[in-house]
């Protein structure tokens, strides 16, 4: 988990509903997350996570005559 706090109030007046999220905040957080993500992709992990216990086991249809709905049929 990563957190960051940044000050995005260029005019210095607080509670005036004029904050620079689009100009300062969002670009900064986007660049930060891209940097961390690229680092994590290239990093060698000592232990690989085992997420098998979190896998959802869905019921399988057996002896069922109902037709299977395809994506192309849903869009029509």
What are 17's two structure tokens? 């509903």
pTM exceeds cut of 0.85: no
The answer to whether the CB of 2 falls within 8 A of the CB of 36 is: yes
Show me where the domains of the chain are located: 1-9+16-46
Number of Cβ within 10 Å of residue 28's Cβ equals 14
**HEC states along 6-21?**
CCCCCCCCCCCCCCCH
What pLDDT, in 10s, does the model give residues 18-57? 888 888 889 999 999 999 999 988 999 888 889 999 998 8
């Amino acid at each position: 988990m990563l957190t960051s706090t940044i000050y995005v109030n260029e005019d210095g007046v607080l509670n005036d509903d004029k904050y620079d999220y689009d100009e300062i905040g969002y670009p900064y957080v986007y660049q930060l997350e891209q940097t961390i993500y690229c680092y994590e992709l290239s990093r060698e992990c000592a232990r690989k996570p085992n997420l098998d216990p979190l896998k959802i086991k869905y019921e399988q249809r057996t002896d069922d005559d109902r037709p299977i709905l395809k994506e192309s049929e849903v869009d029509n």
